Amino acid sequence: MIRALYPGTFDPMHNGHIDIAQRAAAIFDEVIIGVYDAPPKKLLFNTDERVELVSTALAHLTNCSIVAFTGLTVECARAVGARVIVRGLRNVADFEFESQIGLANRQMAPDVELCCLLSSTEYIYLSSTIVKEVAGLDGEISQWVHPSIAQAMRRRLAENGTVSSADTLSGKKNVTKTRGKLTHHG
Query: Which are the catalytic amino acids?
Result: 17, 41, 90, 128
The smaller minimum CB distance to ligand ADP, of residues 47 and 128, is found at 128
Q: How far is the CB of 20 from ligand ADP (least distance, A)?
A: 5
The smaller minimum CB distance to ligand ADP, of residues 14 and 175, is found at 14
Q: How far is the CB of 185 from ligand ADP (least distance, A)?
A: 30
The smaller minimum CB distance to ligand ADP, of residues 17 and 132, is found at 17
The smaller minimum CB distance to ligand ADP, of residues 23 and 184, is found at 23
Instruction: Provide the binding-site residues for ligand ADP, judged by CB under 6 A.
Output: 8-10, 16-17, 20, 39, 87-88, 90, 94, 119, 123, 126-128
Q: How far is the CB of 56 from ligand ADP (least distance, A)?
A: 16
Residue in 41, 55, 48, 42 with CA at minimum distance from that of residue 13: 55
What type of residue is 82?
A: A
Alpha-carbon span 2 to 86, nearest angstrom: 12
Question: CB-hemisphere CA count at 13 Å for 169?
Answer: 11
- Burial track 70-101 (b if 16+ CB lie within 10 A, e otherwise): eeebbebbeebebbbbbbbbbeeebeeebeee
Alpha-carbon span 177 to 164, nearest angstrom: 9
Alpha-carbon span 54 to 65, nearest angstrom: 9
Alpha-carbon span 38 to 178, nearest angstrom: 30
Q: How far is the CB of 117 from ligand ADP (least distance, A)?
A: 7
